[in-house]
């Protein structure tokens, strides 16, 4: 089992960038400060890093989770990150040249298909779903479900339990864990796609 290094602090520059982007687009950023090391550690735990060949990150932000994923994934695994804010995405493209970056999570299935990757083993999300209109939440969740392999996992954090009902309508296996050592405290949702192709909402 690979060890998770969560001891490197978030830099002042990253915090300032995050705060400035929050002021400009609070609905997209969702928080005034990047995620804590405790939250990053909890977000990484559910993934089977030895087996995951394709990993997706939604809402990469300043790269708190991107860095952990890049450290933990196998050398031959593929990481695809989505970040809508142009400056954040451009900065991460320079820091992680081996990662595939895209803008819109609604294009998730298309991006995976065009890259010849099929479906993902896991999707890790920092998207502020509570700030999105319901139609956009539905579109992204439909993409997430379709993009996951049977048995794949979707890990997301939120600052409330608002998304619990919708996630339970999509995934039959949903667990929630509170991470108190974050500002503000966060809930981590771990959702696993059924091994069969039948879904409660989005299955065909």
Least confident interval from 19-28, 110-119, 165-174: 19-28
Q: How far is CA 153 from CA 12, 17, 176, 182, in A?
A: 32, 30, 13, 23
Query: pLDDT tens digit string along 135-186?
Result: 999 999 999 999 999 999 999 999 999 999 999 999 989 999 999 998 889 9
Q: What are phi and psi of 134, to 5 degrees?
A: -60, -35
Residue with tokens 């932000």: 61
Domains defined along the chain, listed by start? 37-155 (3.40.50.150)
pLDDT in tens, 38-74: 999 999 999 999 999 999 999 999 999 999 999 999 9
166 in Cβ contact with 156 (< 8 Å): no
pTM score of the predicted model: 0.83
The confidence score (pLDDT) of residue 9 equals: 43
pLDDT at position 183 is 84
Asked if residues 187 and 157 have their Cβ atoms less than 8 Å apart, the reply is yes
For the stretch 75-93, pLDDT in tens is: 999 999 999 999 999 999 9
């Amino acid at each position: 089992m690979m060890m998770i290094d969560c001891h490197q602090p978030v830099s002042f520059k990253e915090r300032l960038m995050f705060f400035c982007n929050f002021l400009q687009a609070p609905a997209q950023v969702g928080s005034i400060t990047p995620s804590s090391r405790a939250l990053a550690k909890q977000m990484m735990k559910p993934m089977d890093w030895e087996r995951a060949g394709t990993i997706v990150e939604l809402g990469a932000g300043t790269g708190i989770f991107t860095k952990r994923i890049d450290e933990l994934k196998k050398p031959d695994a593929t990481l695809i990150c989505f970040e809508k804010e142009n400056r954040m995405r451009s900065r991460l493209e320079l820091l992680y040249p081996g990662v595939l970056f895209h803008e819109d999570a609604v294009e998730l299935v298309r991006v995976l298909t065009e890259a010849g990757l099929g479906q993902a083993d896991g999707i890790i999300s920092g998207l502020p779903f509570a700030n999105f209109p319901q139609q956009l939440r539905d579109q992204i969740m439909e993409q997430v479900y379709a993009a996951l392999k049977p048995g794949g996992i979707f890990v997301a954090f939120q600052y409330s339990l608002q998304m619990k009902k919708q996630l339970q309508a999509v995934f039959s296996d949903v667990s929630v864990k509170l991470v108190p050592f974050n500002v503000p405290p966060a809930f981590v949702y771990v959702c696993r796609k059924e091994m069969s192709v039948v879904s409660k909402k989005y299955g065909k």
